[in-house]
Amino acid sequence: MHETTMLLIEVGALLFALSMLARVARRIGLSPIPLYLLTGLAFGHGGILPLDASEEFFEVGAEIGVILLLAMLGLEYTASELITGIRRSARSGVIDALFNAVPGAAFALLLGWGPVAAVALAGVTWISSSGVIAKLLNDLGRLGNRETPVIISILVIEDLAMAFYLPVLSTLVIGAGLVEGAFTLVIAVVAVLVILFLALRHGRTISRLFSPKDAESLLLGVLGLTMLVAGVADSVNVSAAVGAFLVGIAISGQVAHQATELLSPLRDLFAAAFFVFFGLATDPADVGPVLLPALALVIVTAAAKVGTGYLAAKRAGIGVPGRWRTGFSLTPRGEFSIVIASLAVGAGVEPRLAPLATAYVLITVVVGPLLARIPDSDRFKAAVRRRTGPTVRAQPGTVGATGR
């Protein structure tokens, strides 16, 4: 059979299957990410039915998926919102990094993977999944809760930290020398600061390049600029994902809102391709040996995330139930963890990092939404009341309120 014909058959069948899996995931209240990863494992190297003709297609789609994930994340925030979020939650962000990055780094060193893999695994365990958590808060009806701004602030700080972390990791994984590595890092940091400055001072001017009233022109323009900047960033050894993220930040106002609506279907398509390709590139036989280590890592880092959220909400004056909701809501990891692992494994750092990250994300994405529901259970509420004693019911919107 002709190679193009096989490509169309494999891609079409896989996309149709992903559609059905996404529908099932929504009905049972889970993110479709673990099902996408499992699909990739099933049809990749060592899977039940390897799909050879479409692998290159999904590899390219995965690259576009990462770029769109980060660009869309940048579109969610303006530069001023990022800076305000950092000022309000800087201490919580530092605690978050220490509590959740250190266990990952220590785990890699205990396994004898070396310092570069330790930096990569630190990022895998540190960053919560903004996409999964945002959907979780919406599904649980918590978008209006008083603890939600605390959750969002922590996620914003993590997202911004990625703009500095990814260039550092990129420098380490390519094995650059001290001078070359320092030069690459300086370029990355300067690029981040320059784009943030331009976004703050001239965001409206950049946005005027596009017209929110012309959907076709807006879609082509924003997508083209994002991929152009991502490519230029990658050519100077700065992460393409960072370039895409900063383009999103630089675009603001009605243009950003309209671009988000237009790009969302493309993001969903290529993000699915990204997760599938990560599974395709991972041999299922490699996942079994790291399943128990991944589970142990989940237990440690889930407890660390709960502690991070609890302390952050306490500092914000949120009641005890809201503190627990904050902590449990932050446990899922997702897109960033896979991006970090794929970057490291693609550079030949530690091959076992890919199956470990796959198992780790699978567990947290499945268990995270279940943990987030715990504070709403009658048994948990009764346990909190026993520990805290009778509380004075605060007026809605006041610091002492324990409800929404």
360 pLDDT higher than 60: yes
The answer to whether 267 and 72 have CB atoms below 8 angstroms apart is yes
Q: Which range (245-254, 294-303, 355-364) has the least confidence?
A: 245-254
Structure tokens that stand for 308 in this block = 């991070």
Cα 331 to Cα 129: distance, rounded to the nearest angstrom = 8
Tell me, what DSSP letter sits at residue 51?
A: -
Lowest mean pLDDT among 54-58, 134-138, 251-255, 302-306: 134-138
Report how far residue 299's alpha carbon sits from residue 185's, in angstroms, rounded to the nearest whole number: 33
More confident residue, 272 or 305: 305
Which among 56, 7, 64 has a CA at the least distance from the CA of 274?
64
**117 compared with 274, residue with greater pLDDT:** 117
> Which string of b and e fits 29-54 if b means at least 16 CB within 10 Å?
ebbbbbbbbbbbbbbbbebeeebebb
pLDDT at 391 over 70: no
Position 404 scores a pLDDT of 31
The per-residue pLDDT for range 137-195, each reduced to its tens digit, is 877 778 778 888 888 778 878 877 776 787 778 777 766 555 566 676 677 677 767 76
Residue 314 carries which side chain, given as an amino acid letter? K
Q: Which two tokens stand for residue 285?
A: 């036989």
The string of DSSP codes covering 117-134 is HHHHHHHHHH---HHHHH
Average pLDDT over residues 276-281: 78
Q: State yes or no: pLDDT of 104 exceeds 90.
A: yes
Predicted pLDDT of residue 1: 61
Residues 6+ apart with CB under 8 A from 140: 372, 373, 376
> Cβ distance 376 to 363 under 8 Å?
no
Asked if residue 279 lies in contact with residue 40, where contact means CB atoms within 8 angstroms, the answer is yes
| Distance from C-alpha of 396 to C-alpha of 299, rounded to nearest angstrom | 34
Cβ burial, residue 25 (10 Å; 0-12/13-18/19+): middle
Specify the pLDDT at position 239. 65
- The pLDDT value given to residue 392: 40
The confidence score (pLDDT) of residue 93 equals: 82
Does residue 203 have a pLDDT over 60?
yes
Lookup: tokens for 340: 């970090």
Mean pLDDT over 265-273 rounds to 86
Nearest to 38 by CA among 359, 279, 271, 277: 279
Report how far residue 93's alpha carbon sits from residue 89's, in angstroms, rounded to the nearest whole number.
Answer: 6
Report the share of the chain in percent with pLDDT over 90. Answer: 17
* Domains identified in the chain and CATH numbers: 70-266+288-376 (1.20.1530.20)
Q: Which amino acid belongs to residue 96?
A: D
CA atoms of 89 and 12, how far apart (whole Å): 45
Across the range 256-277, mean pLDDT stands at 86
Per-residue pLDDT band at 31 (split at 50, 70, 90)? confident
- Give the pLDDT score at 307: 94
Over the stretch 296-342, which tens digit does the pLDDT of each residue have? 999 999 999 999 999 999 988 888 989 999 999 999 887 778 888 88
